Amino acid sequence: MTATRILIADDEPSLVAVLQPVLSAAGYEVAAVADGKGAVAFILSHDLDVVLLDLGLPDIDGKEVIRRVREHVATPIIVISARHLEAEKIAALDEGADDYVNKPFEIGELMARIRAATRRRGTTTAPMAFYRAGPLAIDFPARRVLYDGETIKLSPKEWELLQVLARSAGQVVTHKRLLAAGWGVETTETQYLRVYIGLLRQKIEEDPSDPRLLLTEPGVGYRLSAAE
Amino acid sequence: MKRPMLDRGRLAIGDMRLRITLRELMTTAGIVGASSAAAFLVKPMNGEASEALIFVLGIMLCGAFEGLTAALIAAIAGFLIYNFYFAEPVLAFRLARGSDIAPLLVFNLCAVISGVLAGRLKDSVQAANRKNEALSRLLEMSQALQSAVRLGDVAAALRATPSARSGVSLHLFSIKNGRLQPLMDGAAQPEWQAMAERSLQSVDPIRCEDGLTAHRLDGSDGPLGVFVFKADAVTRLEPPFMAALANLFTLAMERATLSEMIEDVRALAKTEELKTALLSSVSHDFRTPLTAISASASSLIDYREQLDRDVSLRLLQGIVDDCERLNRYTANLLEMSRLEAGALPTNLQKIDVIEMLVAVMQRVRPRLNERRMTRLFTGTDIVVLADASLFELVLVNVLDNAILYSERKSCIHIEVEDDGGYCRITIADEGRGIPDEDLERVFDRFHRVARTEPSPLGSGLGLAIAKAFVGALGGSIAAMTPGIGLAGTRIVICLPLVKEDRPQ
């Protein structure tokens, strides 16, 4: 098996100088580009496993980079962005980014995002059959959800939502995508979504008021913990 | 206004047009009728002379009450009736002798004299009324001008302008960026604007042309604007009065300009004050963690061999913690400058308060350091409209304060309740509390509670941002003591609730 290949698209040399050796030490094969056009060219000409994309590149907007490469390839893209720029993050996710990391980040958080992205890439060819995290287990072909080994009953909507979250386990799923999955329309009010997330938490969380599996990403969406 | 009487009389005749209304015609007919009746009554007693006098009286009355036209009609009618019924031969018209024509001449002369005199009287009464109205409006305006502080007040005073009906119209132009601009709503007619421009160029501050009079308003630093007016012949306005009014405009505009300058200076001073405070905050609050980071990192490089594993780890953890601290300061500074710039929150979305609090509690959990968090969330679907990242920052700030100013192993209590139209978030701790005199000032920018005991220092921005955020959303925030039991602080945030229908 070949090493996982990562491209860092960031114009901040000090950040690249830290990430490159750390990611290499973690066993990844790392390349770096410092502008948007270079990033597009590199992504289209290489078979990459993950792209770490800074949204504030000097030449073209990060969202534009995503738009240009998404027409051709499905390479997982993790956006690196400042915490207060929700609208930017959501727009990038809508353009086809897979996840985001807030700047500044701790390396553990970044590694978890990279793992989630590569795991998901692995399942695009063969659909994920099983998910397990803590007491929760999902058997996709059988459409069965188990909590502590016991089958739990989910309504069709709850199942749709959980399935979308689990297939992107470890990654953020935007309100918009969840609404589209559960209701088929993107315009439905997020309050419906909140209610169903609440119902799901009742069934899959040990303490629904202090969730450990189904986490809120304020203003953006929800994230189901990565499979163990 | 001292014109020869003759001139005014001629003018009055020239101004008079032979017009009559139905009402005036009826009155005239009535008076002529009454005169005829009276003449019939006196006919048996006296001779022709008194009958003629009665007609003269009637014609005079018509002239006095209804003007020249009515008097002339009455004169013709009176003559016809007099000639037919009263003059010899009775019941026949005759214009043969001089004595037949005399009444015609006398009646018409009476009509003209009385009519003209009455008409002139009426006109001058009317003119006086119009002038009075114009003057009282101008006086009203001058009173308003005396209390005008801003250019807007001057414009408001101008709205009390005398109407065109009272024969006066006026325009005020102010100089903005070197160009003349009408101060009143709507653009001025081009000839007025041109007049104002010419007045600005001319040597004489007062200029009269084509019925327009322009007063240049010269302030102490050159012209401030131009005051142009037009008064018709009847409502002629005394030049000294208009000059006084122009003076008032000058004063009001100068005052407005000055007060605007003072406001600018004050705003500048405030900005400077903020800048200084920001700089001192940056130099202090940023340098402290940076110093720690620098010391730790350089120690790790220089004394790598000597330091044992635990110490190295502690230093490294310190670097990570200080970075998180710097990150929060940066976020606070950024949000503060956004809020200071008066930017309204644009990224509003419906946010479930409990969900947000749970996420925030998870975020601060690594910093708890053996402190406990307890909570009491009553109600579901507590939804507010807010900017998600700002809301998160505000809650993190308040929780961080609770952590920062309380002892290890103490308790931090978080409560959310639905208070009708508002959601009330309470965050209480068992820490050192806030002195009563500081309870309000903790929300001021860069205000730090002076303490005798050594205590950690925040950036002095967290609660100021919280207050600005809550205020922008129409809510409130307050600090109270005690927090839990008899100690600590309690921060209460109220935000307006968004009412939602529960989905089916």
Q: Are A216 and A222 in contact (CB under 8 A)?
A: yes
Q: Are B357 and A199 in contact (CB under 8 A)?
A: no
Q: Which 8-state DSSP code applies to residue B367?
A: G
* Higher-pLDDT residue of A17, B460: A17
**Is A219 within 8 Å of B388 when comparing Cβ atoms?**
yes
Class of residue A165 by CB neighbours under 10 A (exposed 0-12, middle 13-18, buried 19+): buried
In a mutational test of the A interface, the residue from B290, B326, B348, B355 whose CB has the highest number of chain A CBs within 10 Å is B355
List the domain boundaries for chain B. Answer: 5-131, 135-256, 263-337, 343-448+457-496
Question: Cβ of A207 under 8 Å from any chain B Cβ?
Answer: no
Say if CB B12 and CB B126 are below 8 A apart.
no
CA distance B225 to B200: 8
- Tell me which chain B residues have a C-beta less than 8 angstroms from the C-beta of A194: 352, 355, 381
Q: Which fold has domain B263-337?
A: Helix Hairpins (1.10.287)
**Residues forming beta bridges with residue B416, ordered by sequence position:** B377, B425
Q: What is the CATH number of domain B343-448+457-496?
A: 3.30.565.10
Q: Do A195 and B356 touch (CB under 8 A)?
A: no
> How far is residue B233 from each of residues B15, B207, B228, B230, B437, measured CA to CA in Å?
12, 17, 16, 10, 70
- Angle value at C-alpha B376, between B372 and B377, nearest 5 degrees: 130
Could you give the CA distance from residue B396 to residue B330 in angstroms, rounded to a whole number?
14
Of A138, A61, A130, A129, the closest CA to residue A97 belongs to A61
Residue B503 and residue A198: Cβ atoms within 8 Å? no
Fold (CATH) for B135-256:
Beta-Lactamase (3.30.450)
pLDDT of residue A48: 92
Chain B nearest CA to A100, separation (Å): 15
Contacts of B390 in chain A (CB under 8 A): 84
CB atoms within 10 A of CB B91: 6
Flag if A190 and B392 touch (Cβ within 8 Å).
no
| Residue owning tokens 């006066």 | B168
CB contact under 8 A, A195 and B334: no
Residue among A162, A166, A198, A167 at smallest CA distance from A182:
A162
**What is the mean pLDDT of the segment spanning A5-14?**
90
Q: Are B116 and B13 within 8 A, CB to CB?
A: yes
- Using CA coordinates, name the residue in chain A closest to B503: A192
Which residues in B lie closer than 8 A to residue A225 (C-beta atoms)? none
Point out the residue among B334, B389, B500 whose CB comes nearest to the CB of A86. B389
Q: Report how far residue A163's alpha carbon sits from residue A196's, in angstroms, rounded to the nearest whole number.
A: 13
Contact A180, A126 (CB under 8 A): no
Residue among A110, A216, A222 with most chain B CBs within 10 A, to mutate: A216
Nearest to A209 among B359, B377, B389 (CB): B377
Do A219 and B390 count as a contact with CB atoms less than 8 A apart? no
Distance in Å, alpha carbon of A122 to nearest chain B alpha carbon: 30
Q: How far apart are CA A71 and CA A52, in angstroms?
A: 18
On the CB side of B350, CA atoms within 13 Å amount to: 15
Tell me which residue in B350, B354, B387 faces A191 most closely, judged by beta carbons.
B350
At residue B145, the pLDDT reads 79
Residues in chain B predicted with pLDDT less than 70, given as ranges, are: 1-18, 46-49, 160-167, 185-188, 232-237, 274, 277, 280-284, 341-346, 448, 450-459, 500-504
**Encoded tokens for B216:** 């240049």
Cα separation, B107 vs B344, in Å, equals 84
Chain A residues near residue B392 by CB distance under 8 angstroms: 218-219
- Give Cβ neighbours of residue B325 (< 8 Å, ≥ 6 apart): B289
Return the domain boundaries, chain A.
Answer: 5-125, 130-224
Q: Residue B435's beta-bridge partner residues?
A: none
Distance, in Å, from the CA atom of B404 to the CA atom of A81, rounded to the nearest integer, reads 28
**Contact flag B350-A190 (C-beta cutoff 8 Å):** yes
- Cβ distance A218 to B392 less than 8 Å, yes or no, reads yes
Q: Which residue of A has its CA nearest to B378?
A: A209
B503/A215 touch (CB, cutoff 8 Å), yes or no: no
- The pLDDT tens digits for A192-227 are 888 899 999 999 998 888 898 999 988 889 999 988
Q: Which residues of B touch A (CB under 8 A)?
A: 320, 323, 327, 331, 334-335, 347, 349-352, 354-356, 358-362, 375, 377, 380-381, 383, 387-393, 500, 502-503
* Cβ-defined contact of A86 to B359 (cutoff 8 Å): no
Residues of A in contact with B350 (CB under 8 A): 189-191
Task: Report yes or no: A189 at the B interface, CB cutoff 8 Å.
Answer: yes
Measured between beta carbons, which residues in chain A are less than 8 angstroms from residue B358? 209-211, 216
Which of B377, B389, B502 faces A219 most closely, judged by CB atoms? Answer: B389
Choose which CATH entry (3.40.50.720, 1.10.287.110, 3.90.1150.10, 3.40.50.2300) describes domain A5-125: 3.40.50.2300
Q: Is A186 an interface residue toward B (CB < 8 Å)?
A: no
Helix (H, G, I), strand (E, B) or coil at B386: strand
Contact B358 A217 (CB under 8 A): no
> What is the rounded CA–CA span in Å between residue A120 and residue A75?
11
Does the distance separating the beta carbons of B381 and A209 come in below 8 Å? no
Closest partner CB to A84 (pick from B350, B377, B389)? B389
Which CATH number fits the domain A130-224, given the four candidates 3.10.290.10, 3.40.50.2300, 1.10.10.10, 3.30.420.40? 1.10.10.10
Cβ within 8 Å, pair B383-A106:
no
Report the chain A residue with the minimal C-alpha distance to residue B332: A84
Distance from CA of A60 to the nearest CA of B (A): 24
- Of A92-101, A113-122, A149-158, B264-273, the one with minimum mean pLDDT is B264-273
Distance from CA of A52 to the nearest CA of B (A): 21
How far apart (Å, rounded) are the C-alpha atoms in residues B330 and B338? 12
Verify cis geometry, omega within 30 degrees of 0, for the bond prior to B89. Answer: yes
Q: Does A181 touch chain B (CB under 8 A)?
A: no
Cα separation, B237 vs A152, in Å, equals: 95
Note whether A49 and A6 are within 8 A (CB). yes
Q: Cα separation of B157 and B251, whole Å?
A: 13
Which residues, including other chains, have CB under 8 Å from residue B209's CB and lie 6 or more apart? B195, B198
Q: How many CB atoms lie within 10 A of CB B83?
A: 18
Asked if A194 is an interface residue toward chain B (Cβ–Cβ < 8 A), one would say yes
**Record: contact B351-A219, CB cut-off 8 A:** yes
Question: With an 8 Å Cβ cutoff, are B335 and A192 in contact?
Answer: no
Write out pLDDT tens, residues A161-199: 999 999 888 899 998 889 888 887 766 677 888 889 999
Check residue A183 and give its pLDDT. Answer: 84
Contacts of B381 in chain A (CB under 8 A): 191, 194-195
ipTM: 0.76
Closest partner CB to A84 (pick from B334, B349, B380):
B334
Q: How far is A83 from chain B (nearest CA, A)?
A: 7
Contacts across the A-B interface (CB distance below 8 Å): 66
- Closest CA in chain A for residue B384: A191
**C-beta atoms of A86 and B347 within 8 A:** yes
